[in-house]
Structure 1
């Protein structure tokens, strides 16, 4: 790397931030002024520095991009699913970056009807995302949401599928999702608060009437909750949900009575989560009520839905987490997690069958896929593993016969799953807890400490990173890298208690688990300090920020994408999108004990004079989830205080938000940038 290139230095402008009689000095607070030209100039100077420092890898990045793209089938399509008399398909055409949504009536041989060609819709936009496609019960209309800025403020439009006409109605600042009443002319949708982007209100719109006359049917006033609306699979009920990190509440209304009053299903009780599914004249409820930490399934009549009437169907179990339920006419399917592994339990309503789908290794992911049809004996599920591409499988619940509808093709002719090895290992955390690690590598590696290893984790919100197949990842594996997913606490890999043990006042377990996994992999000879790399994004970027403060000498390089690193300042600012809804995850720093604990690990607040690893930090100017200024401030402070000559790069995409680029292959350019950074540090140039 060229060392003569002068890195940017952000101006220091003293800001005192006081809370609970504690003063934090923030020299880079001013970087949150998005409209300030000085801020834009600073971000551009960092981008120029990044480009110059990585200019020698540009050809390699292009090679990686083409290599990754070449493994992906460009003219590809989804497995069709049937809904209300039509087969729905999403397909891609060669050389085009966006999906085409289509359907065929009754049979797959019928003429194709194109709902949307997003390649046409995206013309003239640097970012384009369509979401919430929702066909009316009479199959004649489709509502959909569009975002062209990447701020997740979707505009809902309605299209006539018979004439192709786009109706004049444009509903601004929504989630993009909506649901039709049974009459095919009344549409319910969710509005967002313009500043915080919290989805807080449900409206009713009648086709052909002005948007200004839309009726607000629900307003979620608690700013730690968000709200949403949908229809049950049985099509009988419209449902308004309200949810926070720890608590849920639902309201129901018969879909054939759209102007009626929504009835509360069960009033919210702090700490009680529940979800509902309708079948015949009952609701089935997945809930953690009454200390069912790993959830249980209850049942109640649709006439008397209050909790006092709930009856147990599947009891709570200490060792098995119930993740979801799927209801069919004759069958009841339960998605569970047992010792970290996905299992699918199939039961007949009449009790004549009760069995599990068989899976045979420790590094796979299996999940129930799209099953909108209620009256069917076919369960569609998906399966993949660290070494096996994704398959979509139709399983006959009567005969137990399976049909692989589609297996992900890895193009290029070089991929053979037998050339790769996957395994699950268990590291020991500081407090003695065993932490699982799923890993994959090319056959024939030696445990001599010389293998480059990329360790990935997320570790928040109970979100589990399952061991999944990635054709993109082959670009690392084929160059000798080991890829390891650390299933740290804060996720839900080992059940709900695993999540509870990595949040609020136990958040530091997430960070120490990751570090202990790294030390274990070094001790076992898989890698060494000189060859170990870490990667995480968003809340996983917070994890990256914490580990480089706590154990900077353990990693040769770290990639932090859209990292949530200024925890205290963000959690004290309730005008920022998502903040108030996060108190149950991180704590509310307006309370002193949470403030003190948060400050003790917040990456930005804990940057000190010490050596840091080589680092690549990425963000998007329009990010609504982790604002661009968090990584920008963090990099500025690191530049000021770090005592090493290691590489520190900040790359801000000036056109996108939290999810990165919107085109199908544009995102691969970002992956190629991240991969080339660690490959270059490892001395791998091609």
Structure 2
């Protein structure tokens, strides 16, 4: 395989954790886009050690299978050579790195404060103070009129929690019903294995809670009822803990490891909402303070739903009858009697319930609308965005508020929190921090035609003073029904300042156009997304605005499947390729039953133990489809540890 990849100029950066700073990544990105125009034939290579593999009746020789063993001496030597090569490659461009860092620091605020939200008898908010890396969570009593230093209380200082750790991530936190204690989960390794801690807010005193290797999710329902999740390869247990006696026991067992279990409190505070979800179905239980469980709707293939609880009723956002979702309501005492709301066309992306009615967020062809349905049944349009702007519902924990809070965002807009009065319709911008000055950009939505006639959406961003023959960075994801964010990305600003255009392609397999868009690019339709991507790059190459010799593409995690598969098919299209934590060895990963994500991933990609699925996977899997041809330059970043995408996939693909 060394001969195959002789012309693949690689810059591989091994990082200890997945928490790379935007400034570092942006500098590395720009340096790569400059450096990859200068071919380097002297690249690291791993020694070949052919091994015969027999998987699912398929026999083949794999020269680099040993790289799956991180402790192998040849693996260690190869990693060292890649790190040296990477460092030397970036060191050449040190002045440019400093220049980019200076540019980006001008956009970063020295301090930042979020808008407060009311939870019970307190207002809570988050601040990042000058010189700190992590936020501090504060609160003040509702009856306090001022927000001065004397009136606010620290709930959690993440800087203090992170002290002494090379990596730190706060998972979730929940305050006890009496407001005295805070429970939180933390990851100190980057492997997404969390510890649970319980701390008295006023004193910092901690209870002895013997819980490690838990999930991030938790919820405090009653004084002696703290719920958390323990995951294993054969499923999940939801545990009920009395933090004051350290006694715990299982209240729910999920035996299907493809399901992820999430916990939250209902907005009225009376129920634990226990959600079990995998890529093809959902099941939700309500647990009251006495521990009694109520099933909302049993799991069935194809049915996804969410719930809200208010005033003795359950509101459910469901695709049981309508692929783009609809909203129903039922009385907790009459759970089988659903009454449905009549809603406008489009996909219902989210919803929230207030004492006076229901708020719906609806998207249709990249236009977002907020609707309010009053308790009387009357509906009104609160606002509608142009196609290149998006909105998402923000935190609205107060059931009895008449204000709904949301965030307006876009590739050319800094995130802006706003709220609208459900009674008067008055719109107000909530801005606590100095407005970030963003250079003027041209942003637009376009549609191009795929080879089978399907119209594919694409968003486009560029500086206003450049019209033709621009280099372009193209990003794609297209998996799991996840919608790519259209938000402002700081790391791309130096590219735009250097006459690059930036494009996002929303191919089939993602969630941008609703559940049917996801289904059209899942399992044995995955090639639709790959072809959509190739057709989109061809569309850009034919545009007068783009220099076809300077098309760079980027894929992260599952998005790398589409990029790397396209790279194997049409390497001449690309001037350079950026892959972050890439999913590359589909068959090898999906065959690994010891990986926690395998059961859920099989529902998205296919099961290699099935002959038809195996054949289809082998037809596009980036690792199996490497060919003897000239490849463009590639920048690859991997993480150690990474519980989602093994570093071994990238190591095997590189040589």
Please say whether Structure 1 and Structure 2 have the same fold, judged by a TM-score greater than 0.5: yes
**Structural mapping, 1:126-165, within 5 Å:** 126-165=166-205
Q: Tell me how far 1:408 sits from its aligned partner.
A: 6.8
The answer to whether 1:378 aligns with 2:403 is: yes
Equivalent residue, structure 2, for 1:226:
260
Q: Tell me how far 1:238 sits from its aligned partner.
A: 1.6
Q: Tell me how far 1:102 sits from its aligned partner.
A: 1.1
Q: Give the whole-Å Cα distance in 1 for the aligned partners of 2:136 and 2:523.
A: 43
Over residues 331-379 of structure 1, what are the superposed CA-to-partner deviations in whole Å (9 max), with x where a residue is unaligned?
20111111122222222112344224132x2211111111011101000
Over residues 180-212 of structure 1, what are the superposed CA-to-partner deviations in whole Å (9 max), with x where a residue is unaligned?
123x2210101122xx4x8611001102223xx
Q: Tell me how far 1:548 sits from its aligned partner.
A: 0.7
The answer to whether 1:320 aligns with 2:346 is: yes
Equivalent pair of 1:92/1:99 in contact (CA under 8 Å)? yes
Equivalent residue, structure 2, for 1:661:
none
TM-score, normalised relative to structure 1: 0.86
Equivalent residue, structure 2, for 1:670:
none
Q: Give the whole-Å Cα distance in 2 for the aligned partners of 1:593 and 1:409.
A: 57
Q: Tell me how far 1:239 sits from its aligned partner.
A: 2.3
Q: Summarize the Cα distance change of 1:240–1:50 in structure 2 as closer, same or farther, 3 Å threshold.
A: same
Q: Tell me how far 1:480 sits from its aligned partner.
A: 0.6
Q: Give the whole-Å Cα distance in 1 for the aligned partners of 2:486 and 2:39.
A: 39
Q: Give the whole-Å Cα distance in 2 for the aligned partners of 1:352 and 1:252.
A: 29
The answer to whether 1:287 aligns with 2:321 is: no
**Structural mapping, 1:473-512, within 5 Å:** 473-512=492-531
Q: Tell me how far 1:245 sits from its aligned partner.
A: 0.6
Equivalent pair of 1:155/1:170 in contact (CA under 8 Å)? no
Equivalent residue, structure 1, for 2:10:
none
Q: Tell me how far 1:5 sits from its aligned partner.
A: 7.9
Q: Tell me how far 1:382 sits from its aligned partner.
A: 0.6
Equivalent residue, structure 2, for 1:338:
364
Q: Summarize the Cα distance change of 1:274–1:185 in structure 2 as closer, same or farther, 3 Å threshold.
A: same
**Structural mapping, 1:174-253, within 5 Å:** 174-182=214-222, 184-193=223-232, 196=233, 200-210=236-246, 213-253=247-287
Q: Give the whole-Å Cα distance in 1 for the aligned partners of 2:303 and 2:506.
A: 25
Q: Tell me how far 1:234 sits from its aligned partner.
A: 1.7
Equivalent residue, structure 2, for 1:32:
68
Equivalent residue, structure 2, for 1:62:
98
Equivalent pair of 1:179/1:189 in contact (CA under 8 Å)? yes
Equivalent residue, structure 2, for 1:613:
632
Q: Give the whole-Å Cα distance in 1 for the aligned partners of 2:627 and 2:141.
A: 64
Q: Tell me how far 1:59 sits from its aligned partner.
A: 2.7
Equivalent residue, structure 1, for 2:421:
396
What SS does the aligned partner of 1:439 have? Answer: strand
Equivalent residue, structure 1, for 2:6:
none
Over residues 290-316 of structure 1, what are the superposed CA-to-partner deviations in whole Å (9 max), with x where a residue is unaligned?
4x211111222212435xx3332246x
Equivalent residue, structure 2, for 1:351:
377
Equivalent pair of 1:390/1:407 in contact (CA under 8 Å)? no
Equivalent residue, structure 2, for 1:536:
555
What SS does the aligned partner of 1:531 have? Answer: strand
Q: Summarize the Cα distance change of 1:3–1:250 in structure 2 as closer, same or farther, 3 Å threshold.
A: closer
Equivalent residue, structure 2, for 1:453:
472
TM-score, normalised relative to structure 2: 0.90
The answer to whether 1:430 aligns with 2:467 is: no
**The one of 565, 574, 590 aligned to 1:555:** 574
Equivalent residue, structure 1, for 2:31:
none
Q: Give the whole-Å Cα distance in 2 for the aligned partners of 1:423 and 1:3.
A: 34
Equivalent pair of 1:441/1:480 in contact (CA under 8 Å)? yes
What SS does the aligned partner of 1:133 have? Answer: strand
Equivalent residue, structure 1, for 2:12:
none
Equivalent residue, structure 1, for 2:20:
none
**The one of 310, 320, 329 aligned to 2:338:** 310
**Structural mapping, 1:99-114, within 5 Å:** 99-106=135-142, 107=144, 109-110=146-147, 111-114=151-154
Q: How many residues align?
A: 615
Q: Give the whole-Å Cα distance in 2 for the aligned partners of 1:423 and 1:610.
A: 36
The answer to whether 1:593 aligns with 2:627 is: no
Equivalent pair of 2:56/2:608 in contact (CA under 8 Å)? no
Q: Tell me how far 1:407 sits from its aligned partner.
A: 7.3
The answer to whether 1:298 aligns with 2:335 is: no
Equivalent pair of 1:389/1:409 in contact (CA under 8 Å)? no
Q: Give the whole-Å Cα distance in 1 for the aligned partners of 2:240 and 2:293.
A: 12
Q: Give the whole-Å Cα distance in 2 for the aligned partners of 1:76 and 1:236.
A: 33
**The one of 91, 96, 104 aligned to 2:127:** 91
Equivalent pair of 1:72/1:410 in contact (CA under 8 Å)? no
Q: Give the whole-Å Cα distance in 2 for the aligned partners of 1:526 and 1:16.
A: 49
Q: Summarize the Cα distance change of 1:42–1:615 in structure 2 as closer, same or farther, 3 Å threshold.
A: same
